[in-house]
Amino acid sequence: MRKLLYLTFSMALIAALTTYAMWAADRPVGHYLSDLRIQLAVDQGTPADRGNLLGIQPELFPTDYQSPERLHRKLAAYLQQAQDQGLLNEKTIVVLPEHIGTWLMVSGEKDELYQATTLEEAMNWLAVSNPVQFVRALISAKGDSRLDDAHLRMKAKSMAKDYQALFGGLAKAFNVTLVAGTIVLPEPSIIDGTLKVGRGALYNSSVVFGRDGVPIGQPQRQMHPVFADHDVIQANGEHTLNVVDTPAGRLGVLIGSDSWYPDNYRKLDAQGAHLVAVPAYVVGRDTWDKPWRGYKGLSTPSSVSLKAGELSEGQAWHRLTLTGQPPSSRAIAGMSVFLRGQFWDKGSAGQSFLSNNGQQFADGNARGARLLNLWL
C-alpha cells in the first residue's frame, strides 16, 4: 500500500511539474495596439551644417515591451516622423530617456504579466514564469533588496543583447548618433564592440551608439542614483564621466540626478564637452508639480543653496540643470529628456526641456509623445 501511495504521489508530482514547465514555456503574443504619433513640441534655432540635438520623449506602456520588435516599431515610427520633418541628418544626436532600456526585463513574457494591475504583481509573474533564471539571480543577488536585484539581474544577458540590437539598429537605420537612454545591468562594459554584463553590482548605465550602430566608448554609469534606488542600483564609485566625439561635437551624458551636481559640469568642461545629454525619469503622475524633495538622501553639494520644498520638482530640475549657464558650464547646449507613460500602477512625470546659450525652452503640455529639437 505504501509503495502504491508513493508511486501515485510521484506520478502526480511529475504531472504537476510537467504542466508547470509547459505553462512557463508558453509565450502567446497578445493583441497589440499602440499610438505611433508624436508631436514636434519645441523647435529652436536655424538649420545649418552644425547638426542638432533631437530629444524623443516617448509615451510607453508594458505592452510596448512585449517584444523588442514592438518597441522598435514604435521608436522607428517616431524617428521616421522626425525624418519626414527634416530633423535628421548625419550630425543629428538623438537623446532618449532614462530606463527606456531597463524595461526590456519584461520582454517576451506571458500575457498575465502585462495584464497585471500593479508593478509588484507583474514582478511576481516575471519570477514565477522564469523559475530557473529567477532562482539563479536570487542566489547571486546583492544589497538589501534582493528580490528587486534578482528581478533586474535575471535576464541581464538577453537585455544587453536586445538593447544593443534595438538601439544600435535604430542609429544605423536612421544614420544618427543615438544616446540610448539607460538600462540597469550588472557591471556593463563594451568588449570588442559588444555590450557585455558581469556578475557584480547593478548600474544604471547609458550607451551612445554611432551612425554605424556601434557603441562609442564605454557605458556611462550613473554616479548619484536617487535615494529610492540605493538598495538596488550601485553608485559609480569611480566618479568618472565619459566624453565622446560625435559629428556635432564632443558629448557628455549625465544620467538623471547626476545633472544636479555642479562638479559634474566642471568635469565635462575639463574634457571639452560642447553638448550635454540628460536621460531622466520622474516617477509619479503629478510629481512634476509637487514640492521638490531635495537630494533624497544624497549629499547636497556645498554650492547648491536650494532647499527641499522651496520649488516644485519641475522648477528644481530647471534650476539645477546648469548646461549653457556660464561659469557653471561651458557647454553650448544640452537637453533633458524624460520617460513618459504608465507602467502598471507607476505613473510618470517630467517635461523635457533644452538649454541653449543660457536660455531654457520647454513644452508645457505633458500629454502624448513629444519631439524637442535644437539646431546647433
In sequence order, what are the residues at sequence separation of 6 or more whose Cβ sits closer than 8 angstroms to the Cβ of residue 78? Answer: 36, 38, 56, 58, 369, 371
Cis peptide before 186 (omega within 30 of 0): no
How many whole angstroms separate alpha carbon 166 and alpha carbon 76? 10
CA distances from 288 to 5, 261, 338 (A): 63, 20, 11
pLDDT score recorded for residue 65: 97
Q: What is the pLDDT of residues 233-273, one digit of tens each?
A: 888 877 689 999 999 999 999 999 999 999 999 999 999 99
Nearest to 156 by CA among 177, 131, 178, 133: 133
Provide the residue type at 222 as one letter: Q
Cβ-contact 340, 334 below 8 angstroms: no
How many whole angstroms separate alpha carbon 322 and alpha carbon 318? 8
Name the residue with higher pLDDT: 73 or 144.
Answer: 73
Cross-strand pairs, 340: 59
pLDDT score recorded for residue 228: 54
pLDDT score recorded for residue 149: 93
CATH architecture of 39-104+165-375: 4-Layer Sandwich (3.60)
How many whole angstroms separate alpha carbon 127 and alpha carbon 198? 21
Q: What is the pLDDT of residues 335-351, one digit of tens each?
A: 999 999 999 999 999 99
pLDDT score recorded for residue 366: 63
Q: Give the H or E element holding residue 129.
A: helix 119-129
Name the residue with higher pLDDT: 18 or 371.
Answer: 371
Counting Cβ atoms within 10 Å, is residue 37 exposed (0-12), middle (13-18) or buried (19+)? Answer: exposed
Residue 18: is its pLDDT beyond 70?
no
Residue 190: is its pLDDT beyond 70?
yes
pLDDT score recorded for residue 16: 42
Q: What is the pLDDT of residues 283-325, one digit of tens each?
A: 988 899 999 988 875 678 888 888 888 999 999 999 999 887 7
How many whole angstroms separate alpha carbon 130 and alpha carbon 21? 9
Q: Give the H or E element holding residue 81.
A: helix 68-84
How many whole angstroms separate alpha carbon 217 and alpha carbon 177? 13
Residue 11: is its pLDDT beyond 50?
no
Residue 25: is its pLDDT beyond 80?
no
pLDDT score recorded for residue 298: 66
Counting residues of the chain whose pLDDT is more than 70, the rounded percentage is: 89
